[in-house]
Amino acid sequence: MSVFSSTRPAGRAAYRPSREFVPDILAGSVPAISRMITRAEAGYPEAAGALSEIYTHTGNAHIVGITGVPGGGKSTLVSALIRALASDGHKVGVIAIDPSSPFSGGAILGDRVRMSEAATVSQAFVRSMATRGHLGGLTRSTLQAVDILDAAGYSPVIIETVGVGQDEVEIATAAHTTVVLSAPGLGDDIQAIKAGILEIADIHVVSKCDRPDAAALVSALNGMLAMGPSGRNPVWHPPVIPVSSVSGERIGDLKDAIGRHRTHLSESGELSGRLRAIAETRILGTAKHLFQQKFNQTSDTLENHIRAVVDREMDPSCAAYALLEWKDREPET
């Protein structure tokens, strides 16, 4: 048989061009959504046109970012929130960011392990995606997956991050509403100051509210918030909501707070500013990705410039300009 034959092995489905999935995605087809997210995550060049077409159908979903220190119970909270939102008739999309396996590059924890109960809710779509070494937890394909769910009619779309470290605050530049989860016993009052959580949070949630030390954490957060307005928005005052994700206590209050914040963004005009910030972040992030991709493919060029910088034959700034082919660099004044 010729290697160019169109005959395929028995049982193997023919490859469908990505553009053929677009009508199915717009109709809410779960298999089509899953396949397109897989292609976006894998970086299929062939999928670029379909993703561009999908983007023209976005802009209806409310994007909610949920972050917080590891071990705080984010997945349990998301699971409880899914059930509360679905009970109100919402189609809920969830992209859960997992740390990458150092061997396969795939998500380690997986949505079936983390949110197995919530994944059975008929109105919910839950998908895990790997960070693939991206420190902030959000990759280009993460936001493309959000686009796919948005176009498919899911709202809200929840992004659950790996966890806030010292620099992991990217979620605030990708979501309309950012929910920060703190847990008693993890030193979150100090962590909040170090990681700048007070500046990125639109809503604070304290998990495990049945624990005796939860009240102290709520008080500490309220005390810090009382010292001044949020750096993100001087008008909106982030509420602090103690919840029990296991029992469902006050999950409804969180759901209502998300709704109030969405209304606030729309009525205050702040939403337009956040949409511009999200667009800017995505453009610059994609440009950075393409830059890195280009020089990964031409590693000799990059290696030559690295060697020149190490040997003090060229300074880092000149090397960067050379890589970008900016030959007519004007002297700084």
Can you list the alpha helix ranges (DSSP code H) found in 115-210? 140-151, 188-195, 197-200
pLDDT at 91: 96
Instruction: Give me the pLDDT at residue 138, please.
Output: 75
**Cβ atoms 259, 225 nearer than 8 A:** no
Query: Which residues have CB under 8 Å from 238's CB, separation 6+?
Result: 201, 202, 203, 204, 225, 230
What is the pLDDT, as a whole number, of residue 225?
85
Give pLDDT < 70 ranges for the chain. Answer: 1-13, 99-120, 131-137, 164-168, 187-196, 228-232, 297-299, 326-333
Q: What is the pLDDT of residue 66?
A: 94
- Domains of the chain, residue spans: 18-56, 58-274
Q: Note the pLDDT of residue 187.
A: 62
pLDDT of residue 5: 33
Q: Which CATH number fits domain 58-274: 3.40.50.300, 3.40.50.2000, 2.40.30.10, 3.40.600.10?
A: 3.40.50.300
Spatial neighbors of 114 by CB under 8 A, at least 6 apart, are: 75, 96, 98, 128
pLDDT confidence of residue 320 = 87
In this structure, is the dihedral angle defined by the CA atoms of residues 274, 224, 238 and 247, taken in order, positive or negative? positive
pLDDT reported for residue 61: 98
Express each pLDDT in 111-168 by its tens digit. Answer: 445 555 665 678 899 999 886 655 555 788 999 999 999 999 999 999 998 775 544 6
Rounded to an integer, what distance in angstroms lies between the CA atom of residue 234 and that of residue 211? 32
| pLDDT value at residue 55 | 98
pLDDT in tens, 266-301: 999 999 999 999 999 899 988 888 887 777 766 678
Q: How many Å apart are CA 292 and CA 212, to the nearest integer?
A: 49
User: Is beta strand 92-98 parallel, antiparallel or unpaired with respect to 63-68?
Assistant: unpaired
